[in-house]
Structure formats: C-alpha cells, structure tokens
Amino acid sequence: MSPRRLVRVEVDGGARWGELRDGEVHDLRDGPFGDPAGRRGAPLGELSRLRLLAPAAPSKIVCVARNYAAHAAEHAVEVPATPLLFLKPPSAVIGPGDAIVLPPESERVEHEAELALVIGRRCRRIDEAAAWSAVLGVTCANDVSARDLQRAEKLWTRGKGFDTFCPLGPVVVAGLAAEAIADLEVACTVNGELRQRGRTSEMVFSAAALVSFASQFMTLVPGDVLLTGTPAGVGPLTPGDEVIVEIEGVGSLTNPVRAEVG
C-alpha cells in the first residue's frame, strides 16, 4: 500500500482529519485510525486555502532523552542503557505556522528537531516485533526546551512543558514500512542557517523499540505522540526567528518565534 498523507484542518471552527491528494484535502469522515481503505468523504478544499492544525491531539507526548549519541556528547552525558523517557503535556502542542512563545522565566530556549510517531491503535506491553503495527505514521516535531530550567531543575516538567513547546506537523505520512523511516535525514534551520543535521539511522533505540518500551508501563492510545530524540546541533531561539524542522520524505515544519507579551 502506498503511503497516505494525512492532515488536520480547521473547518467551521473545528478540527477535521483529511487525506491530501494532488493538493486537495479530502474529508476522512471516520478519522484516520480505522480502516485505511475506509470512507473518504467530500473534498474540504485546496490545501493552500485551509488552515493546517497539529496533525494529532494526543492524550500524552512521550519523549526520549539522549537517543542520538552525538547530541548526548554535546551535553557531556552518557547514552543510557535503557530509553530515558519523559512527557510533555498536551497543552504544549501547536501546529505549523503557530508561534513558539519564549516565556520570561527562561533565558535560553532551544530547538530540537525530531521525528515524531503518531500512535494508531491502543496498545499495552506490545513487543518490539509488533510495535510498528501500532504506529499510524510519522510527522515532524520540535522538542522546544528551556535549557536553563532543564539544567537547573531535577525534573524536566517545566523546562520541556511550556505552552507552544511542542510544534507538530504539517502532515502525517501513514502506511510506511518500519524500514522506510530507518535512515531519514533530520534537519533544523533557523533563519535559513543550518543548525542540526543527522539521520534516523543514528538513533540509539529504534522507533519500534521506543514504542514497545513505553507500552510496558503505559497504555498508548490513538493520537498519542512519541518523539524519537534529536541529533546534535541544538541551539538558542530568539524573538523574530523562523525555525524549520525538515525530515526527508516526511515534510517541513515552520514556526515563528516570539517573546511572551505580559
């Protein structure tokens, strides 16, 4: 089956799932989590005329620290023997084009370009061999991090959890084989300057290994998002910046950056 390109768009003030074909968005009336050959409804319009939303509404966002050795090295920390997971709150999610807001509590907010998995079906204690079958598809993410707070505080809840600290999108590429995402370039540019460039083949724990590991202690449900870690090159964001996460064959996620206005 060829990959499908799924989007969430704003229609009449609400969110609707659609499938992108030839620049046009077709309503997915039953949502994206059922039968992939399921009902495809009427056209919702041309993509260029619709407002794209984050292509998931997760109950939780599962993230992994130090999943690229080169990124662990730039923070002078070891790669862990088992995946080191943390959560971002669903309230951190924003869509393509939405602003990353720099909070006054931090003097150093950084970008982290990451491949994101969108979970497609409920699973608990799924083994690694079966884990990919629980993934709907992949999209681009930015694990925005208040690095000074993250360093100063033992728990990362605040440093990783501010509103707007989880840009996602623009498209979920669904129906891929696990091998198809095993060696993709992950890049980040800020104002056109290349900051990060790595490959998913450098991940310490594979996408399937991460899904399986997370599911050993929490039930993953459709729409949950798992961020797979960032390559080396993370750096600061300042007001007025434009940050782009680009993943080969997946898409390009652009967000402006601004300061929080009190």
The contact set with Mg ion (CB under 5 A) reads 112, 143, 230
In the complex, what is the shortest distance from the CB of residue 134 to Mg ion, in angstroms, rounded to a whole number? 21
In the complex, what is the shortest distance from the CB of residue 72 to Mg ion, in angstroms, rounded to a whole number? 11
DSSP element (H, E) containing 188: strand 185-190
Smallest Cα–Cα separation from 39: which of 18, 60, 22? 18
Which residue number, 7 or 188, has a Cβ lying nearer to Mg ion?
188
Place of tokens 């940050």: 243
Report the C-alpha gap between 121 and 161 in whole angstroms.
Answer: 25
Residue nearest to Mg ion (CB): 143
In the complex, what is the shortest distance from the CB of residue 68 to Mg ion, in angstroms, rounded to a whole number? 9
User: What does each C-alpha distance from 85 to 24, 226, 227 come to in angstroms?
Assistant: 37, 10, 10
Instruction: Please count the other Cβ atoms lying within 10 Å of the Cβ belonging to residue 154.
Output: 6
Which residue number, 27 or 112, has a Cβ lying nearer to Mg ion?
112
Report the C-alpha gap between 176 and 166 in whole angstroms.
Answer: 23
Which residue number, 99 or 232, has a Cβ lying nearer to Mg ion?
232
Which residue number, 16 or 111, has a Cβ lying nearer to Mg ion?
111
Which residue number, 27 or 143, has a Cβ lying nearer to Mg ion?
143
Let me know: does 75 contact 231? Beta carbons within 8 Å: no
In the complex, what is the shortest distance from the CB of residue 181 to Mg ion, in angstroms, rounded to a whole number? 17
In the complex, what is the shortest distance from the CB of residue 140 to Mg ion, in angstroms, rounded to a whole number? 13
